[in-house]
């Protein structure tokens, strides 16, 4: 059984510091911006954007801003009963864990949603919060089981990702991405899927649909204009892609959707 004691969002706090102590709880940390320094059992660790840390119950921990300045991070403080939990290796090992997450965008939204839920007084809040924390623990456990991706593959995937973020409204073919990293089309697809968790084409559609959700809710553009703006010159095809990803048509999303829904469309 999980017990959430607190969820914090440290938003570039000047002179942030936590004193050295042996903690009687577990801590999940997701660093979003800047750098933070922790001292765990007399060893120093620096967390930066995209880094996840697990600090287990019984650790001696201290933390402070990195010399480079303040940081932005989420922290979840929780306890759990071993006998009431399924076997989760990193919880069972009770060792400090520090690695870089490759699903940062999605996990950021889940940490953020948990933080928001703990500050609301709505019905079923505890049930929802426990569900989000269980999901986060499961995703992290799965990430830790994956073989380490070699640096050159990370470099290729990040280069492709940044290109797609800048050009997702354009007509992009795999051969263009292959040329970008000077590798074959098949290798390009494989390395992107290995690191990012989905194909480049699916990632393009994801970016387009996220932007479509934003425009449907926050602009006066017609669905046809949004389709063209995002590179879908066949509006019926845009409808099919949108519904495949959101389970709603663009028309229904305009009527029933909201920004929170849009933030949780993709895993």
Local confidence pLDDT in tens for the 267 residues of the chain: 789 999 999 999 999 999 999 999 999 999 999 999 999 999 999 999 889 999 999 999 999 999 999 999 999 999 998 777 788 999 999 999 998 876 777 888 899 999 999 988 778 899 999 999 999 999 899 888 876 667 888 889 989 999 999 999 999 999 999 999 999 999 999 999 888 888 999 999 999 999 999 999 999 999 999 999 999 989 999 999 999 988 889 999 988 876 555 555 554
pLDDT at 149: 66
pLDDT at 146: 74
Same domain? For 138 and 168 the reply is no
Same domain? For 131 and 10 the reply is yes
How far apart, in whole angstroms, are the C-alpha atoms of residue 170 and residue 231? 6
Same domain? For 91 and 54 the reply is yes
Predicted TM-score (pTM) of this structure: 0.64
Same domain? For 41 and 138 the reply is yes
How far apart, in whole angstroms, are the C-alpha atoms of residue 87 and residue 145? 13
- H helix or E strand, kind and range, residue 63: strand 60-65
- Report the CATH number that the domain containing residue 224 is assigned in CATH: 1.10.10.60
Same domain? For 36 and 160 the reply is no
How far apart, in whole angstroms, are the C-alpha atoms of residue 150 and residue 93? 25
Same domain? For 110 and 152 the reply is no
Structural domain harbouring 28: 2-145
Angle of helix 200-218 relative to helix 151-167, nearest 10 degrees, comes to 40
Same domain? For 138 and 7 the reply is yes
Same domain? For 25 and 141 the reply is yes
Domain end residue (candidates: 177, 197, 217): 197
- H helix or E strand, kind and range, residue 3: strand 2-11
Same domain? For 187 and 139 the reply is no
Same domain? For 123 and 169 the reply is no
Total structural domains within the chain: 3
pLDDT at 267: 46
Same domain? For 188 and 206 the reply is no
Chain centre distance of CA 200: 18
Same domain? For 164 and 140 the reply is no
pLDDT at 264: 57
């Amino acid at each position: 059984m999980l017990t959430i004691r607190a969820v914090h969002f440290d938003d570039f706090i000047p002179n942030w510091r936590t004193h050295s102590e042996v903690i009687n709880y577990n801590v999940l940390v997701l660093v979003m911006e800047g750098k933070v320094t922790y001292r765990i059992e007399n060893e120093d660790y620096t967390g930066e954007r995209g880094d996840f840390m697990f600090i287990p119950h019984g650790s001696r921990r201290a933390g402070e801003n990195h010399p480079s300045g303040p940081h932005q991070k989420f922290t979840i403080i929780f306890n759990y009963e071993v006998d009431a939990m399924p076997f989760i290796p990193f919880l069972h090992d009770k060792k400090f864990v520090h690695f870089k997450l490759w699903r940062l965008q999605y996990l950021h939204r889940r940490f953020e949603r948990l933080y928001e839920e703990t500050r609301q007084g709505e019905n079923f809040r505890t049930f929802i919060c426990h569900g989000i924390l269980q999901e986060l623990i499961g995703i992290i456990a799965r990430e830790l089981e994956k073989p380490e991706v070699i640096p050159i593959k990370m470099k290729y995937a990040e280069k492709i990702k940044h290109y797609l973020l800048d050009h997702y409204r354009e007509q992009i073919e795999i051969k263009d991405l292959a040329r970008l990293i000077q590798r074959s089309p098949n290798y390009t697809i494989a390395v992107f899927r290995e690191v990012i968790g989905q194909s480049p084409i699916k990632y393009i559609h994801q970016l387009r649909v996220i932007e479509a959700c934003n425009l449907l809710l926050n602009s006066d553009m017609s669905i046809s204009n949004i389709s063209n703006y995002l590179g879908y010159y066949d509006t019926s095809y845009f409808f099919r892609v949108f519904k495949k990803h959101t389970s709603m048509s663009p028309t229904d999303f305009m009527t029933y959707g909201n920004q929170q829904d849009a933030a949780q469309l993709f895993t």
